[in-house]
Chains A and B, each alone.
Chain A
């Protein structure tokens, strides 16, 4: 059974760096792509970026200058760093597995972590 578990500080000060980790069990990094998706309180979902099965990254242009996604395959962990945070970055952050769906020619987020709430406040 595939499981994703996010972890990291629940409170970050403005202008500092948000750092989160997603620990993956039951799946190989090389068979999927791995995304971060966030959801401000009471609002909708925003795709942050992904790390592909070959280790390349693609980010949402709205965050590109501040975001970095990486992996430590030895620990089966995906990481997110978001610099220079403001209150607008307050959200639940989810890691999600992206699967290329054979026959459909497209992809979807088929497994999600439970999410971790990050508040940006002094």
Chain B
């Protein structure tokens, strides 16, 4: 199985900050990498697919980059509704696996 490792596991930030979350794959996955946002008690929501493509309806302050084994999710200017848990997920082959999550907290 391909292991996905996110860093940091948690992050404290303020409204307006620029934040970056990193996801590393245990082997090369090209750009087969997706990012999701999950709020408490809710299902995950797709933000970014294919490493850098913004899902329809997602604000442009979210962006993704990377290829191979190293990927980043960047939020350019944090808004109050962005405090949540973020997960990366590879879609290179089955079994699909997710990172352990990064909890973004209000400082």
Contact with B along A99-115 (1 / 0, CB 8 A): 00100111111101111
Task: Mark out the residues of chain B between 32 and 55 whose CB falls within 8 Å of any chain A CB in the assembled complex.
Answer: 32, 34, 36, 42-46, 49-50, 53, 55
Whether, in the assembled complex, A26 has its beta carbon less than 8 Å from a beta carbon of chain B, the answer is: no
Does any Cβ of A come within 8 Å of B7's Cβ? no
Give Cα A106–Cα B31 distance, bound, in whole angstroms.
9
Q: Is the CB of B95 within 8 A of A61?
A: yes
The majority secondary structure among interface residues of chain B is: loop
Question: Helix, strand, loop or mixed for chain A's interface?
Answer: strand
A62 contacts chain B at the CB level, 8 A cutoff? yes
Chain A residues within an 8 Å CB radius of B44 = 45, 94, 109, 112
Q: Are B100 and A44 in contact (CB under 8 A)?
A: yes
User: Size band of the B side of the interface?
Assistant: 20 to 34
| CB atoms of A104 and B50 under 8 A apart | yes
- Interface contact A115-B49, CB-CB below 8 Å: no
| B95-A114 in contact (CB<8A) | no
Q: Known contacts A44-B99, A61-B95, A106-B32: does B50 contact A112 (CB below 8 Å)?
A: no
A residues in contact (CB < 8 Å) with B: 44-47, 50, 58, 60-62, 94, 96, 101, 104-110, 112-115
